[in-house]
Structure 1
Amino acid sequence: KDLPIIQAVRALGDLESAKALLDERTAEWMKLNFPEVEDTALACIIASEFGDREEIEFTRLTELVGEEKATQTMTAAQNSFGAEFDLRDKKALLVLARNGAALGETRKELEEYLQKQSETVLKNLTCLIDALTAARLVARAGGLERLAKMPASTIQVLGAERALFKHLRKGTPSPKHGIIFQSTLIRNAQATKRGKIARALAAKLAIAAKADFYSKHAIGEKLKKDLDARIKAIKKGDAPE
């Protein structure tokens, strides 16, 4: 059950890389015609919807980016010093830009799949962290079984192997967290508290992974309640080392 999750996570990474490259190229191409557009996302929207600054429709652009930005963009387009595109230029850019937009839609569908699949297969893990982070954790470990066999200390820094290797080789500060930093429990915490919170979260994740793989018992809510209490104590400064 976890193997499709691993493949989906890897595919998601491939899609994100491909989309980033396509968007960068699309924006550079669009800026030949409309150099005043500095924002890559906006340039890609204009390219995929219109293909030419002279083809921009205010009503449609407003639907996509809001009235204020649409008004600013229309003003800039009317006074642009960009090069003119002929029909062939426009069509070629539209194809490229719409392929990038299609990758974005595929990414959303994959994320929705991972959300549902993780909530089904990783029921306890997803009580502690969001479904996408849980999926990435399993993929990085190489499967749910391998994650279930890992100690909490390894889970804590999973995904930060380069930083850990650098720490061991050169004595740089050891990483406090890896993939689990994506959890809002850590990301939104004070920097001085993140290490302790990461340890607390990793300890519960280790238990949750074992339950998801071995017993299938639903203990996630209990783990979450205990974790919340632990984090509350850490934030108050009452938690022991």
Structure 2
Amino acid sequence: MAKLFVLFEHAAGYGVFKVEEFEEIGMMLPQLESSVNDLSKFNSIVKLVGFSPFKTAVAALENVNAISEGILPEDLHQFLDVTVPKKKKVTLGVSDPKLAAAITEALGIQCSHIGIVPEVVRGIRKHFHSLVKGFTLKSSGIAQLGLGHSYSRAKIKFNVHRVDNMIIQSIALLDQLDKDINTFSMRIREWYSYHFPELVKIVPENYVFAKLTKLIKNRKELNEESLEELEKIVMDSGKAQAILDASRSSMGMDISPIDLLNIEMFASRVISLADYRKQLAEYLRTKMTDVAPNLKTLIGEQVGARLIAHAGSLTNLAKYPASTIQILGAEKALFRALKTKGNTPKYGLLFHSTYIGRAGTKNKGRISRYLANKCSIASRIDCFTEVPNQIFGEKLKQQVEDRLKFYETGDVPKKNIDVMKEAIEEVSQLVLSDKKKKKKKRTASEAFNDSGQSNGLVKQEPKKKKKKHSVSEAVTDDSIQENGKADNGEGPATPKKKKKKNKTVS
């Protein structure tokens, strides 16, 4: 008769259960499903063989991480080796097929994850606190909650050095701010134009228009004294004078103080949003310099951030081939072209880079393909390098520039292998210089410690008394000096000194 044992991984530890007469139960799977809800019926089917609790929360987290990756932990290996009998007709039910393969490879136990195993595991999960002695529903919930929090925290911290999530959120917020600022600026132009319609033609910029709206308020109160403030905002004395002249002969309607107050509050809100947009752009620039310096140097921080956001992460972008990066952002056009059997798109998000606009009409597809190739290289270097730098990005940017010149003038650019060799040499020199700087810092700190000891800042250890050399030690010292160099560095010791020492010994 074959025997079935079922392994259950709980937050508190590992449990092995024996299923009674599982061959007959397998024929009656609907009855098993109904008995899962009833503890008394389920107890007659499943019996606890052994339970191995986790010693600490750290050990539980390590075991769960190993199981999630399909690796057999050492604790589980020892527990199964002791608990499961090593017979030919023994089957171990495991919920995870990867873990089942690892157990079979390590222990030689036949494992199964199909048939009645999922239903038995479901019943054990429901009645686990009743099947194990000294275990309650409350303690089981606490263990599961604690392990779930620590496991989630560990997964989030896994990506702590590559904080490309901040780049994805900031570029999305930047695009949203652009839309909102444009919408609000159109609204404030239309709103304030009832009172001062001539201002729209004189000042077309949205940000400057909002600042002037907040400053002018009622156009009838504008006079020569406010000309300097207008010049500070407009940065042009001619425009400032034109605004002043237009306010005196404006065709706009009069407006109440309450309406002016609302317009002023709305203008200040638009100004604050525009200022925050500038700060966010600077934040994105610094983040791209830290996370993807080569990609940022090659195509700019905004296009690079859009590529990362569209791919989902820098790691995903590094996995993409150059052909995918080329049309990233133009998926709808691609599938439409495939459906209608038309021309596929030449570029997606890369169209916003300056290289596509500078290329000729015939060469736009070529330069986009070449640029996608370089973006793929830059993203892989940024993702997998240990020391982030922008040397490769500068070299790749120069390659794209040379390729643009080649399309225009026919000048043959350098080969890619030569450019990469130069970049690798520069990176190695940079690493060496960093190591030298670290050594200098260490020597400076050692010198400070020495000076602190001499000044009494650092406690000095009591000096040990020098021991007098014995006869054997004197002989060994003489033999060392004779075979090697002397202490003063003048070469091997002379035999005369040895004779004198021999006399003193005798």
From 232, 239, 244, the counterpart of 1:63: 232
CA apart distance, 1:55:
4.0
Quick one: distance in 1 between partners of 2:261 and 2:400?
55
Give the percent of matched residue pairs that are identical in Structure 1 and Structure 2. 36
CA apart distance, 1:10:
0.8
Report the counterpart of residue 21 of structure 1 in structure 2. Answer: 183
Report the counterpart of residue 230 of structure 1 in structure 2. Answer: 403
Quick one: distance in 2 between partners of 1:128 and 1:102?
32
Distance 1:31 1:151, change over 3 A: same
> Any idea what the Cα deviations from partners look like across 1:109-137, whole Å, max 9, x if unmatched?
00000111101110111221112221122
> Any idea what the Cα deviations from partners look like across 1:195-239, whole Å, max 9, x if unmatched?
211111110000111111123465323323333332322233578
Report the counterpart of residue 259 of structure 2 in structure 1. Answer: 89
Q: Letter of the aligned partner of 1:22 in structure 2?
A: F
> Any idea what the Cα deviations from partners look like across 1:124-163, whole Å, max 9, x if unmatched?
1122111222112211221111111111122112223333
Report the counterpart of residue 175 of structure 1 in structure 2. Answer: 345
- Residues 212 and 233 of structure 2 are in contact (CA less than 8 Å); yes or no, is this contact kept in structure 1? no
TM-score between both structures, scaled by the size of structure 2: 0.44
Which one is further off, 79-88 or 163-172? 163-172
> Any idea what the Cα deviations from partners look like across 1:54-101, whole Å, max 9, x if unmatched?
344322222222122222222222111111122211110010011011
Distance 1:99 1:204, change over 3 A: same
Distance 1:43 1:126, change over 3 A: closer
Corresponding pairs, count: 239
Runs (5+) with no aligned partner, structure 2: 1-162, 413-506
Report the counterpart of residue 268 of structure 2 in structure 1. Answer: 98
Runs (5+) with no aligned partner, structure 1: none
User: Which structure has the bigger radius of gyration?
Assistant: 2
Question: Which secondary structure state, in structure 1, belongs to the residue aligned with residue 367 of structure 2?
Answer: helix
Q: Does 1:112 align with 2:274?
A: no
Cα root mean square deviation, aligned: 2.1
Quick one: distance in 2 between partners of 1:62 and 1:76?
15
Which one is further off, 201-210 or 63-72? 63-72
Which one is further off, 107-116 or 206-215? 206-215
Q: Letter of the aligned partner of 2:230 in structure 1?
A: L
Report the counterpart of residue 165 of structure 2 in structure 1. Answer: 3
Which one is further off, 202-211 or 179-188? 179-188
Q: Relative contact order (C-alpha < 8 Å, sep 6+): which is higher?
A: 1
TM-score between both structures, scaled by the size of structure 1: 0.89
- Residues 196 and 234 of structure 1 are in contact (CA less than 8 Å); yes or no, is this contact kept in structure 2? no
Distance 1:188 1:197, change over 3 A: same
